[in-house]
Amino acid sequence: MNKIAVIGAGKWGQALASAFRHKCNVVITSRTKRDIEGFVSLDEALEYENIVMTIPAQAVREWLHKHYGFKNHNILVASKGIEASTGAFLNEIYEEFVPKSNLTYLSGPSFAKEVLLGLPTALVLNSHNRMVATGWSEVFPDFIKTYVSTDVIGAEIGGAYKNVIAIAGGICEGLKLGENARASLISRGLVEMARLGREFGAKEETFLSLSGAGDLFLTASSKLSRNFRVGLGLAEGKTLDEILKELGEVAEGVGTAKALHTISKTNDIYLPIANEVYEILEGKDPMESLKDLLNNRRR
């Protein structure tokens, strides 16, 4: 595995391309960015056997329908989220187009800015095919420690859910609710995440690992997180459209909050923080959500 194509040249795609260049020949493709190192056309990129996908979750299904044909690729899925319109997890979408044995999902705490700087972190490669996941682990640079797991659904839920709790974290910060509130929010968010995971057969330990707690603690407490900044904007009274325009990037927690709300109602799963984030995105006053959470006696 010494040649890799990265599809999607947002900050995360460019960060991963930079990281993989420490050990591999890497090309990257994008609809809009052509003046980047290693740029090739999409057709050229799809000729590579090893592909990293950084396409945002809400665009994945349409992109695969329009552009993808399986050619025995090994695919590393590096985006995180749940499809808002259907509640489908990314692994369910990708498996419509690619055999599950050829798919690996990246999880864990990883801000693009710090990866570009070569700062240390640890990530998890999740796949039903341990050999393929191990192959991916060997091409990461030395400043990224990697682990291999077979709990695909657990990693999916952790990676998606943390973006929703990050929006709540930004709201907490923006309302100046204090450190006690932040710690309570994040810890209860972890409880919700694990509760959803149990419903879908995930392993409990996944949510105490890099894929769960590690990614959650990072994303829900830092302004480097786009989703955290969405929450800050909501607390300041900005509209969602205004916030997303200012960001200029995709905030996966917005679509995932809608998906979690649907999953919660359809399957009768108690996800109070995620549901309040959805309501705030729909226009509810954040202070009303705070009151409702504090007055909710259900555990």
Active site residues: 162
> What's the rounded Cα separation, in Å, for the pair 271 and 254?
16
How many C-beta atoms surround the C-beta of residue 275 within 10 A? 21
Q: Are 24 and 38 in contact (CB under 8 A)?
A: no
CA distance 297 to 299: 6
Order of strands, edge to edge, in the sheet holding 103-107?
A: 25-29, 3-7, 50-53, 74-77, 103-107, 121-126, 144-149
CA distance 110 to 122: 8
Distance between CA atoms of residues 68 and 82, nearest Å: 20
- Sign for the pseudo-dihedral over CA of 277, 282, 287, 289: negative
How far is the C-alpha of 266 from the C-alpha of 262, rounded, in Å?
A: 6
**Residue 155: which of 99, 213, 74 has the closest Cα?**
213
User: Residue 161: which of 82, 234, 75, 93 has the closest Cα?
Assistant: 82
Which residue in 113, 211, 230 sits closest to 166, CA to CA? 230
Closest among 115, 111, 160, 158 to 140, alpha carbons compared = 115
